[in-house]
Each structure stands twice: as structure tokens, then as C-alpha cells.
Amino acid sequence: MTKINILTPDIFNKIAAGEVVEKPASIVKELVENSIDAGATKINIQVYDGGISKIIVSDNGSGILPDDLKPAFLPHATSKIKTEEDLYKIGTLGFRGEALASIAAVSQVEVISKTSETVGSSIKLSGGEIVAQGEKGSPVGTYICVENLFFNTPARQKFLKKPKKEESEITSLVSKLILANPNKAIKYTADDKVIYSSSGQGLKEAIFAIYGSAVLENLIPINVDNGKYKLTGYIGKTSYFKSNRTYQTIMINNRWIADSIVNVALSQSYEAYMMKHCFPFCVLDLTVPNEEVDVNVHPSKLEVRFQDSRAIFGFVYRAITETIYSDLTKKTTEEVEVENQKPEFELQRAPETPYQSQTANSSTIDLDKLNLDFILDSPIQSNAAHSSEGSVLNEIVIEKLASTVAPKIFDEPRDTKINKNDEPTFIPKPTQQQLIKDDVIDKDEMLSSQIIGKAFNTFVIMEANDELYFIDQHAAHERLLFDKYVKQIKDKEVSCQPLLIPYTIDVNSAEEQFINDNLDMLSSLGFDIAEFGNLSFKISAIPSILPDLNVNNFFKNFLSNLNNYTQLKNIDLIRDDLAETACKHAVKGGDDLDKDELIKLVKAVGNGDVTLQCPHGRPFVVKFTRREIDKWFRRVV
Ligand code: ADP
Ligand code: MG
């Protein structure tokens, strides 16, 4: 039988430290919450090397009595709970009474503190052991310095991330603490560089300190009180969305909570106004009677449990939707006024010209632009002048073909109305199998066929022994160009195209870290991106294969991956842009290609690696067998 051992306080504290002291950010959180509990109005946070070498938090709070300095480091030492009843209506930020003990167990700590009634005193600990104690001159308040985190627990030290990453987590956390405490002046520096400095003059000022001025005009104030619950703060306008969740700050009874039913209610309130991958902005504080909420579900106290979460959900949902609604109706009144001032003709829109324009366009193709090398070396810019959308046109042609075939011949139900203006044609609607499965087409067989002509300057027609092939010239060329771009990226042959005017993007600290983590990937795509001051990046070059890239949209989309857990792949990030560029630069349906060009196209398509679908997934080769065609004419049954 194994004998039960009672752990020594020293070992016990190291274990407990694991719960409270996961990482430098959790230390900052505990220390700042202690300052807030002590009634501080000014808090100074300094971190060095992401908090791994040093974290200093000083405040102008009530201070610690000299006689309490030592007990403050005992586990379960707290000045915040006296009776069991206190446990259930705890208003202060921490009640576990083990933060200081846990932190001291795994680092070297110095505390200097003074209350208004006593002289200043100090204490120094190393690995939880007191190494010095005495009087020390100090202003009223507390100074705590935590150095050399995990110096005595090397196993844990290994789990620390790179200083920049730890710093970014602290920065994220401090931004939340500042938003949760808008009436406290909080200054935060990392390696002596000022990152945030809030004035303590209210929530709008705090939002300004974190997000800058641009966000301020996109806010709707919210203040709803039903006598039991209260929701205050700011939410983003329905025209203002961010690409990830890091712009949502939700407090419950004044403390920041990572995730709760409030987040769900928020998202649902905006559902009608939001596009995919969009997240509303918010800084919200929900006030709930203390006895109805348990904030200690999670050791680092980022989660809550509500007694009646349905009631909370309903309250928050209604409060937000009603606030949005009254903002929108307010806006409409303003808009009506503006509208009334506009001259009438501006309100009239030109009638839309649908497909005609594309057909017309296709007859004005500049043949000089279609040189013989168009397939393998199509210069990116060469066809940029064409504006007709080949793929749409082709779709219309296919649709038309399909619907004009004599109905009786086929088993498939189809539209029996035949348009008189359409030339009768004997091409059946391709079966689902032919359209989707390119493996039914044997490329060798296809390559051995002869080009016998083309239809509508859009489809190459080829004949083999017993088969007839139709190749959509636009979609085929689109696939070839797309594959060429992808290969360039895989072979790391992508070049940069410098931007005349560099583009800058402002980010928050989580986004900053995300971009920094993915710098290699971005440069592998051809981006030249570098940090540009605090929380801002400068993009000086974009991939030369995407000269028309919408940089803003690209980064929006890129940052929307921040909440994903799957590994980002460089090509996935620009797949749609590549497909769009390929589409733009491929020959169009309607372009008059000569025979050599057609041969070159068919040969390139016949290459073993080429998928017989355009980058959007549509097939571009359709095959009919002799037997099928014979059947149309009932030569065989
Ligand atoms: P808890 O906050 O749960 O009480 P801690 O270990 O975080 O436990 O702190 C222990 C005690 O030390 C607190 O109860 C408080 O009395 C005192 N203390 C810690 N930090 C401060 C501070 N910045 N100002 C005043 N008192 C503090
Ligand atoms: Mg505490």
C-alpha cells in the first residue's frame, strides 16, 4: 500500500501556481486585479521580455499594512473574505487568496507598500522563501516586481512562448483591463515602450486609448436597465464590422469575461446585418446581482456561470436589438433629409443591360492580343482590356443548347418550349456524369483526336474514332493559367510588385501577433509587409501575379482566420483571387482563335496533371460517344 503524504507548503504552492500562474499574462491579470481591489485610480504596468524576465505593477491604492506583508504571501491569505456569506456576494475581483503565494513560489518577488497610516515597508521572496524584509520609504500604494519567472521550475519554463508572443498576450489582456476600468488611468509599457496609456476619464476615452480615433464615429452607445439587469457600453454600427472576435470586450459586473452567453446574444442580435466572417464591435458591461453569478468557474476566472442564463440571454438580445433598431431608424431620418436635398435626376439609375452587352463585346475582340504564346506564357496584363465574362457567357450558351434540343429524344425531363429564334441544334444536355467527372475522359484518347472545328468561337470540337469532344476555350485556358500561378507559388517563384503608395493597416495586438506569426507565409505569396510603428503594418509590395488585388479585402479575409484552429495554407488565402485573375486573363468565349492556338490549347489541356475543371469547379470538356449520337437519330436503340 502506498502511504499518503501530506505535501509541504512549498510543493503545494508550486502546484497551485500552475493553476493561477499559467503564463506572464495571468500574473499581470492577478496583480492588476489586486490593484483595482485596493481602490487604485492609477496603475502602472511594465513588462520586459514579454513578462518573462520582469513584470512590475505599481498602484496608488490603499497599500498593505507592514504586518500584513508576510501573510499576504501565505496560501489562502486574503483580506477580502471573512465569513462564508462573503463568498456568495463577492464583489472584488479575486477571492482565492492564493495569487501572491502562487506567483512568489515560481519567481523572485519584491513588494514595497505603504498605507496612509503606516510607514512604507518591503519584502523580498525567492521561490516562495522570504529573503529580506524591512522598512522602506514609499508613496501610498503598492509596488510589486516579479522577476525571473519559473526560474526554479525549468520544466514549466520550457512551456513559455517566445517573448513577443507572451507580450502580445499581455497586451491583449491589458487592453481588456483598460476597457473594463475606464475610470482608472492605466499606463502600460513593454520594454519601456508605451503601448497604452488611458486617462481614466470614461469609456469613450478608454476605447480611444485602445483602438484610436477611427472607431469612435462607428459606435452606438447602449444603456438599458430593466431594474434587475443592466447593460451599458458601446456597440458597433451595423455598417461597421471587424474580421475577427478580438474587437469584442464583454464585462460581467465590471470584470472582463472571455466567453459567455452574452457573446452569443450579441452575435444573434447582429445576424440580420452581418456578412459571413464578420464580427460586431463591442465594449459591454452587464450588471447582474452578485448572488446570481458565479465568476469562479474557471481558475483564471475568465468564465462565468449564471443562475438564469435564459433570462440573461433574453435581456441582452433585446437590449442590443432595440438599440440597433433605434439607431437605424434615427439614421433613416437623417438620410431622408439628405435625400430630400438631392436633385431628382441623381436618384434615377441607368437601366441595366444584361447579357446583350457581353455578346456585343465579344465581337469587338482585339485579335492582336491573341498571340500564339497565349497558352503557356499569357502575360498577365495582355487581356485585361476585355470586360466580357466568358464563363457567364458560356453558361448561357450551354443552358441555351440544352434547352433547345428536341424534347422527345431524351429521357430527362426538360423544358418543352422551343424558342423559335434559336437555331435547332442536336447537342444533348450533357449528363451529370459527363459534366462532373473528368475521369470518364481519357486524355490520351482525347489527344489523339482531330480538331474538326469550333462552335460560336467558344467551343473547340474534336473528333476521335468513336467520340466527339467539346472544349470550352475560356474555362480551359482559365485552368491552365490558374495552375501556372499555383506552380509559381509552390516553386517560390513569385515576384513582388511594389506599390506606388504603400498601404498601411491598423491592427490590434492579437492581429499584430497573427500577422507576425505568418510573415513567412505572406512573403512566400509575394507580399512585402513590415511593422510600421505601434500596431500598424506597412505593405509595400503585393504579389505580381495579382496586380489588381484588393489589399484591404485580402487582409480582412486573412485576419478572419485568426479564430481558426486549422493550419493556414498560403494558396488557400489567395485561391479566389488567383481564380479571378486567371478568369480575367484567359481567352474569352467568343474570341476568334486560329487553328494553331486551338491545337496548343488542346495539347496543354491533355497534359496529365491538368484537371478538366475550371478553378471554379465547372467542367470544360464534354464528351459524346458515337453510340449516344446514333441514339439521337434512332439509328440504334
Ligand atoms: P486575493 O486577491 O484573492 O485576496 P492575493 O494573493 O491576490 O489574494 O492577495 C493577497 C492579499 O494581499 C489581498 O487580499 C490584499 O489584502 C493584499 N494585496 C495584494 N496586492 C495588493 C495591492 N496591490 N494593494 C493592496 N493590497 C494588496
Ligand atoms: Mg488577488
User: Of all residues in the chain, what percent carry a pLDDT higher than 90?
Assistant: 42
C-alpha cell at 344: 431628382
CB atoms within 10 A of CB 484: 17
32 lines ligand 1 (CB under 6 A): no
Handedness of CA 385, 387, 391, 396 (dihedral sign): negative
Quote the pLDDT of residue 181.
94
Helix or strand (DSSP H, E) at 111: strand 108-114
35 lines ligand 1 (CB under 6 A): yes
Q: Which ligand is nearest to the CA of 99?
A: 1
81 lines ligand 1 (CB under 6 A): no
CATH, domain range 367-482+588-632: 3.30.1540.20
CATH architecture group of domain 495-585:
2-Layer Sandwich (3.30)
Nearest residue (CA) to ligand 1, atom 12? 72
Q: Are residues 61 and 39 in contact, defined by beta-carbon separation less than 8 angstroms? A: yes
Strand partners, 454: 460
The backbone torsions φ and ψ at residue 589, rounded to the nearest 5 degrees and listed phi first, read -65, 130
Q: What is the DSSP string of 20-82?
A: H-SSHHHHHHHHHHHHHHTT-SEEEEEEEGGGTSEEEEEE-S----GGGTTGGGSTT--SS--
Q: Hey, where are the domains in the chain?
A: 9-200, 218-329, 367-482+588-632, 495-585
517 pLDDT tier (thresholds 50, 70, 90): confident
- Residue 34 pLDDT exceeds 60: yes
Q: What is the pLDDT of residues 309-360, one digit of tens each?
A: 899 999 999 999 999 999 988 756 666 566 555 444 333 333 333 333 333 3
Calculate how far, in angstroms, residue 72's C-alpha sits from the geometric centre of ligand 1.
6
Among 402, 428, 398, CA closest to 415: 402
Quote the pLDDT of residue 355.
31
Amino acid identity of 634? R
Q: Which range scores top for mean pLDDT: 17-26, 323-332, 571-580?
A: 571-580
Helix or strand (DSSP H, E) at 122: strand 121-126
93 lines ligand 1 (CB under 6 A): no
Q: Which CATH number fits domain 218-329: 1.20.1250.20, 3.40.190.10, 3.60.20.10, 3.30.230.10?
A: 3.30.230.10
Count of CA atoms in the C-beta half-sphere (13 A) of 244: 18
Mean per-residue pLDDT of the chain: 79
Quote the pLDDT of residue 60.
97
Calculate how far, in angstroms, residue 262's C-alpha sits from the geometric centre of ligand 1.
29
CATH architecture group of domain 9-200:
2-Layer Sandwich (3.30)
Q: What is the pLDDT of residues 349-360, one digit of tens each?
A: 333 333 333 333
The backbone torsions φ and ψ at residue 574, rounded to the nearest 5 degrees and listed phi first, read -120, 15
Amino acid identity of 121? S
Helix or strand (DSSP H, E) at 469: strand 467-472
User: Position of cell 493553476?
Assistant: 19
Q: Which range scores top for mean pLDDT: 39-53, 280-294, 494-508?
A: 39-53
For the ranges 23-37, 197-211, 241-255, the lowest mean pLDDT is seen at: 241-255
- Residue 36 pLDDT exceeds 90: yes
Mutation to probe ligand 1, out of 31, 32, 78 (largest number of atoms < 8 A from CB)? 78
C-alpha cell at 594: 486560329
Q: Are residues 518 and 572 in contact, defined by beta-carbon separation less than 8 angstroms? A: no
- Residue 397 pLDDT exceeds 90: no
C-alpha cell at 515: 500577422
For the ranges 229-238, 271-280, 378-387, 467-476, the lowest mean pLDDT is seen at: 378-387
| Burial of 211 per CB tally in 10 Å (0-12, 13-18, 19+) | buried
- Residue 29 pLDDT exceeds 60: yes
The backbone torsions φ and ψ at residue 521, rounded to the nearest 5 degrees and listed phi first, read -65, -45
User: Position of cell 507565409?
Assistant: 521
pTM of the model: 0.63
The backbone torsions φ and ψ at residue 496, rounded to the nearest 5 degrees and listed phi first, read -95, 150
Quote the pLDDT of residue 300.
57
For the ranges 36-50, 223-237, 406-420, the lowest mean pLDDT is seen at: 406-420
